[in-house]
Chain A
Amino acid sequence: MQDREQEQPAQITDGVDTPTGQIWPEEITRTPIPDLGWTQYYDIVKELADCYAGVGDFPSALHYYDKAATLGPDEPGPYVGMGVVALQQDRLDEAETAFRVACRLDPNCSKGYCGRAMVAEQQNDWPQAFEFYLKSLELNSDDLTALLGLFQMSCRIGSFEKVIYYLEVYLDMHPGDTSVMFCLATLWLREGRLEPARRRLKELLLLEPNHADAAHLLEEVENKLVHPVCQET
Chain B
Amino acid sequence: MISRIADYSSPLVTVLISTYNRPLYLPQALKSILAQTYRHLQIILVRDGGEPVRSVIEPYLADPRLTFIDRRENWGLPRSFNQALEQARGKYICYLGDDDLFYPHHVRTLVEALEGQNEYEAAYTDLYKVHCRIEPDGKRTALAKNIEISRDYDRTSLLQFSHILHVSLMHTRKILERTGPYNENVHVLIDYDLIRRMAFFTDFKHIPTVTGEFYAAIEQDQDKCSRISNRKRKDRTSYILNLLGIYSSRPPKPWTKLQDTSLTLLAEMVDENLLIALEQIWSHTFFPYRIYLPLPEAQLRQLKTIVPNILGVPVRPGAGAQERLDAVLRCCDGEYIAIVPSTWRIRYNEVAWIEKSLYALMHCADPKQAFDLIGSCPERWAAVFRRQQLMAARRLHKDKPLLESIQAAGISLRSPHQQEWPFQFENMTTSGQMLEKQGMWAEAARLFEMAQQRYGNDLWMMTRRANDLYHAGRFMEAAEFAAQVNSIRPSPATLLIEARARRNSRGDREAIGLLKRAEMILEGSELTYAG
Q: Which residues of A contact B (CB under 8 A)?
A: 1, 4-6, 8-14, 16-22, 29, 31-45, 47-48, 50-52, 54-55, 71
Closest to A45 in B: B519
State how many angstroms separate the Cβ of A206 from the closest Cβ of chain B: 24
In the assembled complex, the Cα of A52 lies from the Cα of B463 at a distance in Å of 26
A39 x B143 contact (CB < 8 A): yes
Whether A14 contacts B349 in the complex (CB less than 8 A), given A19-B192, A45-B519, comes out as yes
B464 x A38 contact (CB < 8 A): no
Q: B174-194: contact bitstring with A at CB < 8 Å (1 yes, 0 no)?
A: 000000000000000101100
Contacts of A52 in B (CB 8 A): 508, 512
A44 x B467 contact (CB < 8 A): no
Flag whether B437 is at the interface (Cβ < 8 A): yes
B283 x A8 contact (CB < 8 A): yes
State how many angstroms separate the Cβ of B203 from the closest Cβ of chain A: 18
Contacts of A41 in B (CB 8 A): 142-144, 492, 519, 522
Tell me the residues in window 234-290 of chain B with beta carbons closer than 8 Å to chain A beta carbons: 236-237, 239-241, 243-244, 275-276, 279, 283-284
A14 x B437 contact (CB < 8 A): no
A-B contact pairs, 5 of them (CB 8 A): A35-B147, A42-B143, A44-B522, A51-B499, A52-B512
Closest to B494 in A: A34
Q: Would you list the 7 A-B pairs with minimal beta carbon distance, nearest first?
A: A19-B162, A38-B131, A40-B144, A19-B192, A34-B493, A54-B508, A51-B508
A33 x B515 contact (CB < 8 A): no
A12 x B503 contact (CB < 8 A): no
9 additional A-B residue pairs with CB within 8 Å, beyond A11-B349, A14-B349, A16-B161: A5-B240, A19-B189, A20-B229, A21-B129, A34-B496, A37-B131, A39-B143, A41-B522, A44-B519
Give the residue among A1, A17, A35 with the most B Cβ atoms within 10 A.
A35
Interface of B, secondary structure class, is helix
In the assembled complex, the Cα of A22 lies from the Cα of B129 at a distance in Å of 12
State how many angstroms separate the Cβ of B66 from the closest Cβ of chain A: 27
Whether A32 contacts B493 in the complex (CB less than 8 A), given A20-B165, A47-B499, A51-B515, comes out as no
In the assembled complex, the Cα of A18 lies from the Cα of B157 at a distance in Å of 11
Contact of B148 among A36, A50, A55 (CB under 8 A): A36
Contact of B515 among A6, A14, A44, A71 (CB under 8 A): A44
In the assembled complex, the Cα of A19 lies from the Cα of B351 at a distance in Å of 16
Contact of B350 among A9, A11, A16, A50 (CB under 8 A): A11
In the assembled complex, the Cα of A33 lies from the Cα of B441 at a distance in Å of 11
In the assembled complex, the Cα of A6 lies from the Cα of B238 at a distance in Å of 10
B240 x A40 contact (CB < 8 A): no
Flag whether B171 is at the interface (Cβ < 8 A): no
A35 x B522 contact (CB < 8 A): no
